[in-house]
Structure 1
Amino acid sequence: MLFSTQGFLLGFLPVVLVLYYLCAPVRRARQGLMVAASLLFYGLWDWRFVPFLVGMTLLNWALACMWGRTRRRAWLLGGIAFNICVLVFFKDANWLSGVFAALRGQAFHPWDIVLPLGLSFFVFQKISYLVDLLRGQAPVYGLLDFLEFVTFFPQLVAGPIVRHNEIVPQFAQPPRNGAMWENLSRGAMLLLVGLAKKAGLADTLASLCDPVFALVAQGHVPTVGQAWLAALAYALQIYFDFSGYSDMAIGMALMFGLRLPFNFDAPYRSVSIRDFWRRWHMTLSRFLRDYLYIPMGGNRCGAVRQAFNLGATMLLAGAWHGAGWTYLVWGGLHGGALAVAHWWQRRGGAMPALAGWALTMLFIMLSWVVFRAPDLGAARTMLLAMAGMGGHDHAATGHHGVVLAIAVSVAVVGPSSQRAILRDMPPAPWVAVAGGIAFVLLILLIGGRIPDQFIYFQF
Structure 2
Amino acid sequence: MLFNSQLFLLVFLPMVLAAFYGCARLPEPAGRTARQLVLVIGSLVFYAAWNWLFVPVLVLLALATWWIGRRYADTGRAIWPIAGIVLNLAILGVFKYANFIAANVESLVGASHRAWSIVLPLGISFFVFQKISYLVDLKRGGHDYARQHRYRLLDFSEFVTFFPALVAGPLVRHNEIIPQFEKPVLTARTAENLSRGAVLFLIGLTKKAGIADTIAQICDPLFAKAAAGTVLNGAEAWAASIAYSMQIFFDFSGYSDMAIGLALMFGLTLPVNFNAPYRSTSLRDFWRRWHITLSRFLRDYLYIPLGGNRSGLARQCVNLGLTMLLGGLWHGAAWTFVAWGGLHGFGLAVNHLWTRAGLRMPSWLGWIVTMLFVIVGWVVFRSPNFTTAWHVLGSMAGLHGIGGLHLRNAIVLWIAVAVALVGPSSQKAALSMLRPSPWLAVPAGAAFIFLLFLTGGRVPNEFIYFQF
User: What's the TM-score, normalizing by structure 2?
Assistant: 0.97
The answer on 1:30 being equivalent to 2:39 is no
**Equivalent residue runs for 1:11-410 within 5 Å:** 11-24=11-24, 25=26, 26-136=31-141, 137=145, 139-398=149-408, 400-410=409-419
Structure-2 separation of matches of 1:407 and 1:229: 12
In structure 1, give the amino acid aligned to 2:221: P
* 1:294 match: secondary structure: helix
Structure-2 separation of matches of 1:244 and 1:53: 25
**Maintained 8 Å contact 1:205/1:233:** yes
In structure 2, give the amino acid aligned to 1:14: P
In structure 2, give the amino acid aligned to 1:452: N
How many Å apart are 1:351 and its aligned residue? 0.8
* 2:305 match: secondary structure: coil
How many Å apart are 1:44 and its aligned residue? 0.5
* 1:111 match: secondary structure: coil
How many Å apart are 1:90 and its aligned residue? 1.3
In structure 2, give the amino acid aligned to 1:261: P
How many Å apart are 1:188 and its aligned residue? 0.1
Structure-1 separation of matches of 2:303 and 2:196: 35
Hey, what does 1:427 align to over in structure 2? Answer: 436
Structure-2 separation of matches of 1:215 and 1:108: 27
How many Å apart are 1:65 and its aligned residue? 1.0
Question: Which is worse superposed, 60-69 or 37-46?
Answer: 60-69
How many Å apart are 1:319 and its aligned residue? 0.5
State the Cα deviation string for residues 209-261 of structure 1 (Å, max 9, x = none).
10111111111111111000010000000000000000000000000000000
Structure-1 separation of matches of 2:71 and 2:350: 45
In structure 2, give the amino acid aligned to 1:40: V
How many Å apart are 1:429 and its aligned residue? 2.7
Query: For 2:448, which of 425, 439, 448 is the aligned residue?
Result: 439
State the Cα deviation string for residues 29-73 of structure 1 (Å, max 9, x = none).
000111000000000110001111100100001111111111111
How many Å apart are 1:376 and its aligned residue? 1.0
Structure-2 separation of matches of 1:431 and 1:274: 37
Structure-2 separation of matches of 1:47 and 1:72: 36
In structure 2, give the amino acid aligned to 1:426: R
Question: Which is worse superposed, 234-243 or 130-139?
Answer: 130-139
Hey, what does 2:425 align to over in structure 1? Answer: 416
In structure 1, give the amino acid aligned to 2:14: P
In structure 1, give the amino acid aligned to 2:367: W
Structure-2 separation of matches of 1:426 and 1:207: 36
How many Å apart are 1:155 and its aligned residue? 0.3
* 1:45 match: secondary structure: coil
Structure-1 separation of matches of 2:180 and 2:17: 17
Structure-1 separation of matches of 2:225 and 2:94: 31
* 2:360 match: secondary structure: coil
How many Å apart are 1:313 and its aligned residue? 0.6
State the Cα deviation string for residues 403-439 of structure 1 (Å, max 9, x = none).
3222111101121101221112122233221111111
How many Å apart are 1:390 and its aligned residue? 2.4
Question: Which is worse superposed, 242-251 or 81-90?
Answer: 81-90
How many Å apart are 1:86 and its aligned residue? 1.2
* 2:68 match: secondary structure: helix
The answer on 1:9 being equivalent to 2:18 is no
Q: Percent identity?
A: 59
User: What's the TM-score, normalizing by structure 1?
Assistant: 0.98
How many Å apart are 1:397 and its aligned residue? 4.3
Structure-2 separation of matches of 1:429 and 1:31: 31
* 1:22 match: secondary structure: helix
Question: Which is worse superposed, 231-240 or 133-142?
Answer: 133-142
Structure-1 separation of matches of 2:303 and 2:326: 10
In structure 2, give the amino acid aligned to 1:244: G
Structure-2 separation of matches of 1:292 and 1:240: 28
Structure-2 separation of matches of 1:140 and 1:134: 13
Pair 391,402 (structure 1): closer, same or farther in 2 beyond 3 Å: closer
State the Cα deviation string for residues 57-101 of structure 1 (Å, max 9, x = none).
000011111111111110110110111111122111111111111
Q: Report the number of matched residues.
A: 458
**Maintained 8 Å contact 1:208/1:397:** no
* 5+ long unaligned stretches in structure 1: none
The answer on 1:450 being equivalent to 2:459 is yes
Structure-2 separation of matches of 1:4 and 1:384: 36
Structure-2 separation of matches of 1:291 and 1:108: 33
* 1:3 match: secondary structure: coil
In structure 1, give the amino acid aligned to 2:258: M
* 1:394 match: secondary structure: coil
Structure-2 separation of matches of 1:233 and 1:260: 29
